[in-house]
Amino acid sequence: MIEFTVAATVLLGLALAALETAHWHRTRQLLGVALLEAARAGSTAGLAPGSMADAFETGLLPLYATASPTGARARLRQAHVRRAQAAGLPAWRIDILSPRRAHFLDFNGGNRSGGFHAAPVDALSPDYLPERHAAHRQRWPGGRGPRSGDTVFDAAVLHLRLRYLHAPLTPGLGALARALGRERRDAEGQAMARAGLLPIVLELQLTMQSLSTWPADWSQAQGEIVMAP
């Protein structure tokens, strides 16, 4: 009887570990697809935060699939609200690491080189990059802007970083996350650990396809979309 109990416990543990691993990888895969959809929306809609957020959550709907699309979206929102309340943090956050404010200052439309594009003064254009880089090289070493230290090619790349609060299926893994979280020094990490949530972090880069304008009221964040300073 003791041998059976030990064997059953080991087998149950292995089964739960396999289940959690499959759930983790499926979530990461769908998050990668959703992040790509957000990047596509941002690259074609001039970094519009509303379009990016909607595209991200739409891409994530298969993770909460039901018989109807409206039911899937309701499940997604409910799950995100629960996690946000438990951790005191947004259930997900996308940081726009590039383009940055320094890119706008170095390569905006008011800083034209040779009249290659007619972008507004406070906007970045993805057009005529080789010609503009050649012109910038005559002004700056290597064509690198004095504020950003990057080239106009770098400024035309949308670089996103996603942080998503993942909820384990089994209570045991949540308890383990809380125990390990006591060693975390950062406030966000401790908050996630107390809630029994695990962070999934992904990054993605995509070339900008449209004119992007620095929003006047976007000094820090628009909901879950955060622009780097």
User: pLDDT digit string (tens) for 161-208?
Assistant: 999 998 887 766 656 666 655 666 677 777 877 888 888 999 999 999
Q: Are residues 94 and 105 in the same domain?
A: no
Q: Are residues 95 and 148 in the same domain?
A: no
In sequence order, the 6+-apart residues with CB closer than 8 A to the CB of 42 are 48, 51, 52, 96, 158, 160, 206
Q: Are residues 86 and 16 in the same domain?
A: yes
Q: Are residues 21 and 134 in the same domain?
A: no
Q: Look at residue 153 and tell me whether its pLDDT is greater than 80.
A: yes
Q: Are residues 171 and 127 in the same domain?
A: no
Q: Are residues 113 and 24 in the same domain?
A: no
Q: Are residues 65 and 23 in the same domain?
A: yes
Q: Look at residue 160 and tell me whether its pLDDT is greater than 80.
A: yes
User: pLDDT digit string (tens) for 54-77?
Assistant: 999 999 999 998 877 688 999 999
Which amino acid would we find at residue 58?
T
Q: Are residues 92 and 34 in the same domain?
A: yes
- Which of these three, 155, 170, 196, is where a domain ends? 155
Q: Are residues 118 and 184 in the same domain?
A: no
Confidence of residue 220 (pLDDT cuts 50, 70, 90): very low
Q: Are residues 18 and 71 in the same domain?
A: yes
Cα separation, 11 vs 9, in Å, equals 5
Angle between the N-to-C axes of helices 69-87 and 187-194, in degrees from 0 to 180, rounded to the nearest 10 = 120
Q: Are residues 151 and 169 in the same domain?
A: no
Q: Which domain holds residue 119?
A: 101-155
pLDDT at 169: 77
Q: Are residues 58 and 162 in the same domain?
A: yes
Name the pTM for this structure: 0.84
Cα separation, 229 vs 223, in Å, equals 16
